[in-house]
Structure 1
Amino acid sequence: MFNWQSLGLLVFSYVVIPRLTFLPKNVHSLLIIFGPFLLPRIVSLFNTARATSRSVSVRPTPPKVQRALNLLFVSAVVCLVLSLPHFAPENVFVKTQGRLQTEPSVLFTRLRMLRELTGEDEALKAKFARVQNRLLYFVYGPDTLLNCVWCTTGDGDDQRNFFLYSLPKILTPHIAHLVVLGLATSSLVGSEGSRFHIHATIAGLVMVVVEAWYLGTYDITMNKRAKVLQDIDFVHWRIRFLRYMSFAAVDGTLGAVLWLTSTNRWLAKPPSMAERIETTTRQAEETMHKLRALGLLTNSINRDPALRGVREEYWRTEGQVMAETVQEEEVMEQINNAVSKMDLRSLEGRVGEVADGIISGIDGLRTSQTMSASGMSEAPSSSP
């Protein structure tokens, strides 16, 4: 039997998805093939998670999760700040509006008009004499081009050497980010964070692999066809910006997931039967201890003449105060108003129902006792 949700999924799977032609061909083909099977399952999982979340009451953010959220917030802010161009290495071509074909002397003459040249600028000027070095500069940045003394060889495998040299610098921020993700989802946060430890680790490792694979397989000769500055792909600066923005996005997403799940707003996990039994047992033990303490306190008060006198004096004074309070005109008026608003007939009916229930319960107990007594008397008589 079809409902509106099934009909909507059917229309989306066989009408909307085939018309998403702006997507890449591979993605579009996969959606057409697997979309009708995956969408109902995803919607079913979402409905199940939402129903489970509704059955569990919302609670405040646990203190341990709050510390993890603070860590993720600081990490996201730091990553956003580091993604700004101010903290990126200077791009000589962008600063001087030069093209790939611009002579190094012209580039650095323009740069001298903007600021004083340094020793690194002179070294870059010498490196830029080769077009190959300019292409490597676009992909790996100025630090790698200047400081790697063994990357330039005669076998024509310079790009692989530059990639291997820059690999530790690529991995360093990712390792730091993995540490942040690990702390935010460690056992120190509790079960609310540790349940997402594997997911966070996979997300961090995927970013490492994607960036390393992209730089390792990038064809630096693609920039040879660039005729103007806008056509040059400054890979080093673009990857750096995307890296820190991805870090901030992952931190923000993980923080939102931790907050939603820890407060039972999403993917709430009801306590298991063992946890419920343990909680109930603990509460019962605490209540029993309190009752025992109250009994000991009452017994001590009853045995001590001074304390017993204080208690009797309190109740005597309390009775006098309440009697005087009830006799005041304002209190009497309020009592009369409350009594006049009461529905005595319905109250009598409720009292009668309660009384009938109590009497029927007593009669049931008497009947069961009579039947058990008669059964016991018949047993000895039948035994001879």
Structure 2
Amino acid sequence: MVSWSTVRSLLVFFGPLLLPRILTWIRSVRNRPKSQIKPLPLQTKYALAVLFTSALIAFISTFPIFAPANIFLQTQSRLQTSTGVLMARLAALQPLSSTDERLRVVLDSGLDARLLYLQFGPRVVTECPFVQPGDPDAARIFLFYALPSLLAPHVVHLFVLGAVTSPLLSGREAASWRTLATIAGLLLAAAEVYSLATHDSRLNARSTRWTDLAFPFWTLRVWRGMGIAGLDAVLGWVIFLQSTNRAFVAPRTPSERVAESVRALEALLGKTRGLGVVRNGTVRDRVVRGVVERYWVKEGEVMASVCEEPEVVAAQKSALARLDTVSITRDAQTFVDGVIPAQ
């Protein structure tokens, strides 16, 4: 479906974008202390729930029950099997519908129509009003006609990616992945369109058994669902790691550090004002002031008696004897020299 040269070109183009993040993640995992891990924010939980729902829907969409019927797979018939035999085998499995009758007309158009059926699916070849399956330019017209339905799941997926990486819903951590997530979503859509447009339908023309047939329309539906589910899973994983400080921890900007310091100072100022109110109330009330004064008088007496205990005196003398005043003076001088460089 996708050649190795295409994959290599994508790696060369996106490697410089992804490699620094991978190296940053490895270093952050190695050097991260356990104390930095924080609980998952509520906003991020909502974003992860949306991603999980999107991935689950994409995965369920790959189930065969949601795919259009494939007449060659249903009847286990070769591509060269006549239309009458195909319809007879299909009628033995289920009653023929109006869609099956329209498909009969398409399959009667020849081998090219059958190849286009395998490439674009039954809806495009039976409902496109702009061209007939046997026309020379049918493949290009069918591709343009199929683009809206082909891109619709990717447009919805891009909307989901934009929602879960918005700062309003997921916070700053998830928003840092918006560019990469959008690029990855666009690449999924481009890869599907490219694979369908460049598919060589003539490979099926040489198949002699039904098991050798390739079904690009049905195969791409499966890969689309798996790709969207995989992208959502990877995005949810990295958002979880970054939101809990397990990896991809980005340093805070100066404005964020200033804002945090201002909030801490405001909290300290509030506590100081509260303490001042309590102090004023204590001083102004005669009864409470007397209780406080008696407490401090009693505290002084207790501490004086404690300091006069022989054990305390001996411990103080022992501590002073072990005190290296020269080393303390030298360390203090070194600190002062480091703070105030010599002129």
Would you call these one fold, judging by a TM-score over 0.5?
yes
Match of 2:269 among 288, 309, 312: 288
Residue equivalent to 2:204: 223
TM-fit CA distance, 1:222: 1.6
Per the alignment, do residues 213 and 353 of structure 1 end up closer, same or farther by CA in structure 2, a change over 3 Å counting?
A: farther
Identity %: 33
CA RMSD between the two structures: 3.8
Structure 1: runs of 5+ lacking an equivalent: 1-22, 34-39, 320-342, 365-384
Structure 2: runs of 5+ lacking an equivalent: 13-18, 299-310, 333-343
Per the alignment, do residues 346 and 274 of structure 1 end up closer, same or farther by CA in structure 2, a change over 3 Å counting?
A: farther
Match of 1:252 among 233, 239, 245: 233
- Higher alpha-carbon deviation: 282-291 or 297-306: 297-306
TM-fit CA distance, 1:259: 0.4
Residue 133, structure 1, aligned to residue 113, structure 2: yes
Q: Give the counterpart letter for 1:198 in structure 2.
A: T
Q: For residues 69 and 171 of structure 1, what CA distance do their matches in structure 2 show?
A: 24
Q: For residues 286 and 75 of structure 2, what CA distance do their matches in structure 1 show?
A: 98
Q: Give the counterpart letter for 1:257 in structure 2.
A: V
Asked if 1 retains the 8 angstrom alpha-carbon contact of 2:71 and 2:90, the reply is yes
Asked if 2 retains the 8 angstrom alpha-carbon contact of 1:135 and 1:220, the reply is yes
Residue equivalent to 1:59: 38
Match of 1:70 among 21, 26, 49: 49
Residue 80, structure 1, aligned to residue 48, structure 2: no
Asked if 2 retains the 8 angstrom alpha-carbon contact of 1:53 and 1:267, the reply is no
- Higher alpha-carbon deviation: 150-159 or 257-266: 150-159
TM-fit CA distance, 1:55: 8.9
Per the alignment, do residues 211 and 27 of structure 1 end up closer, same or farther by CA in structure 2, a change over 3 Å counting?
A: closer
Match of 2:242 among 261, 264, 287: 261
Spell out, residue by residue over 1:138-182, the C-alpha distance to the aligned partner (whole angstroms, 9 max, x if none): 011111111102122776111001111001111100100000111
Per the alignment, do residues 141 and 350 of structure 1 end up closer, same or farther by CA in structure 2, a change over 3 Å counting?
A: farther
Asked if 2 retains the 8 angstrom alpha-carbon contact of 1:76 and 1:247, the reply is yes
Spell out, residue by residue over 1:23-55, the C-alpha distance to the aligned partner (whole angstroms, 9 max, x if none): 968989x99x9xxxxxx9898655544456449
SS at match of 2:202: helix
Q: For residues 280 and 297 of structure 1, what CA distance do their matches in structure 2 show?
A: 26
Match of 1:171 among 134, 151, 156: 151
TM-fit CA distance, 1:344: 8.1
Residue equivalent to 2:124: 144
Larger Rg: 1
Per the alignment, do residues 43 and 302 of structure 1 end up closer, same or farther by CA in structure 2, a change over 3 Å counting?
A: closer
Residue equivalent to 1:90: 69
Q: For residues 197 and 41 of structure 1, what CA distance do their matches in structure 2 show?
A: 17
SS at match of 1:210: helix
Per the alignment, do residues 191 and 348 of structure 1 end up closer, same or farther by CA in structure 2, a change over 3 Å counting?
A: same
TM-fit CA distance, 1:186: 1.5
Per the alignment, do residues 59 and 41 of structure 1 end up closer, same or farther by CA in structure 2, a change over 3 Å counting?
A: closer
The number of aligned residues is: 304
SS at match of 2:121: helix
Q: For residues 128 and 6 of structure 2, what CA distance do their matches in structure 1 show?
A: 39
Q: For residues 247 and 23 of structure 2, what CA distance do their matches in structure 1 show?
A: 15
TM-score scaled to structure 2, two decimals? 0.77
Residue equivalent to 1:104: 83
Residue equivalent to 2:93: 114
Asked if 2 retains the 8 angstrom alpha-carbon contact of 1:56 and 1:268, the reply is no
